[in-house]
């Protein structure tokens, strides 16, 4: 049998750990960017010219049809945005290298997108794939694929947690392909990658 004084210390310690665990569990799930922004003013934007207002600055673009993928045709905000697809047999790529620092507590990629299409519903004939590649071009992850079945002419925001890629150099790519008829326009704007370093944490002293 344990000594009463030792038992008391152990139980007090156990209560403290349980209380701390409870606080961690019941803490409301906050949006990582917002939470980090509230706690750490050092969050920063990693992408260059995510709103496309400086034209092609920061972006690499390849279009099978030879189109300028930065266009004033249908921006979400400002006067310029990305305009991929929009023609038959389109194969358009818009990319930007990113270097995610190590030790970030959050890295959130977000962008606004919309489509216009002549495709009938039912099958994904035309697609916009958002992916991450290694700097040598090897595919790492497809974050999302938007196709012609999406609701037309409604801007929507997509958001992804890239925290797990901390410490890596990557390429963010938007890749649109369309088939032989019935065109689909893919519009992308206000692309953002906000990273927040780990905040300084102060642990409560639970034991003497």
Partner 1 sequence: MNARNLRRLSRILSALLLAVLLCLPVPLAQAEPTTPHPVVKFAGVINAVPPAADYPLGVWQVAGRAVTVTAATRVLPARPVAVPGMWADVTARPAADGTLVAQRIAVMPAEVRIKGPIGEKPADPTGVGTWLIAGVSITVTAETRLSERGAALEVGGWAEVFATETPTGLVAVRLRGIEAQEDITVFGAIQSFDDTRWVLSSIPITVITDTLIIGTPAVGLLAMADATLQADGSLQAWRLKVSVLEPGSYHQPISFTGTVEALPPRGLLGVWTVAGRQVVVSAGTAINQTKGPVAVGAQVYVAGWQANDRVIATLIVVLSSPQASGQFVRFSGLVQQMPANGLIGEWRIADRTVLVTERTRLAGTRYARVGARAEVGGMQAADGTVTATWLIIWPSAGGPR
Q: Residues interacting with partner 1, by CB under 8 A?
A: 4, 7-8, 11, 14-15, 18-19, 21-22, 25-26, 28-29, 65, 67, 71-74, 76, 83, 86-88, 112, 116, 118, 120-123, 125, 151, 153-157, 180-183, 185
> Whose Cβ is closer to partner 1: residue 42's or residue 153's?
153
Give me the least distance between CB of 154 and partner 1, in Å please. Answer: 5
> Whose Cβ is closer to partner 1: residue 52's or residue 83's?
83
> Whose Cβ is closer to partner 1: residue 159's or residue 197's?
159
Give me the least distance between CB of 82 and partner 1, in Å please. Answer: 13
Distance CA 149, CA 199 (A): 42
Distance CA 65, CA 141 (A): 26
> Whose Cβ is closer to partner 1: residue 19's or residue 140's?
19
Quickly list DSSP for 121-173. Answer: TTS--SEEEEEEEETTS-EEEEEEEEETTSPTT--EEEEEE-GGGTT-EEEEE
Quickly list DSSP for 98-124. Answer: EEPPTTEEEEEEEEEEEEEE-PPTTS-
Give me the least distance between CB of 147 and partner 1, in Å please. Answer: 13
Distance CA 5, CA 12 (A): 11
């Amino acid at each position: 049998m344990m000594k009463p004084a030792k038992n008391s210390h152990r139980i007090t310690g156990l209560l403290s750990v349980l209380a701390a665990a409870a606080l961690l569990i019941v803490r409301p799930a906050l949006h990582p960017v917002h939470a980090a922004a509230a706690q750490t003013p050092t969050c920063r934007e990693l992408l260059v010219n995510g709103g496309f207002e400086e034209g092609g600055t920061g972006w690499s673009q390849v279009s099978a049809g030879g189109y300028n993928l930065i266009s004033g045709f249908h921006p979400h905000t400002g006067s310029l945005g990305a305009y991929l697809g929009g023609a038959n047999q389109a194969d358009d790529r818009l990319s930007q290298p990113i270097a995610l620092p190590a030790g970030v507590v959050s890295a959130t990629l977000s962008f606004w997108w919309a489509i216009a299409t002549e495709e009938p519903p039912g099958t994904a004939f035309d697609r916009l794939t958002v992916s991450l590649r290694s700097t040598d071009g090897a595919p790492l992850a497809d974050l999302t694929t938007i196709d012609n079945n999406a609701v037309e002419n409604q801007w929507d925001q997509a958001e992804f947690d890239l925290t797990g890629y901390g410490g890596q150099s990557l390429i963010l790519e938007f890749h649109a392909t369309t088939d032989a008829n019935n065109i689909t326009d893919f519009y992308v704007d206000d692309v953002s990658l906000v990273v927040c370093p780990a905040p300084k944490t102060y642990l409560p002293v639970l034991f003497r």
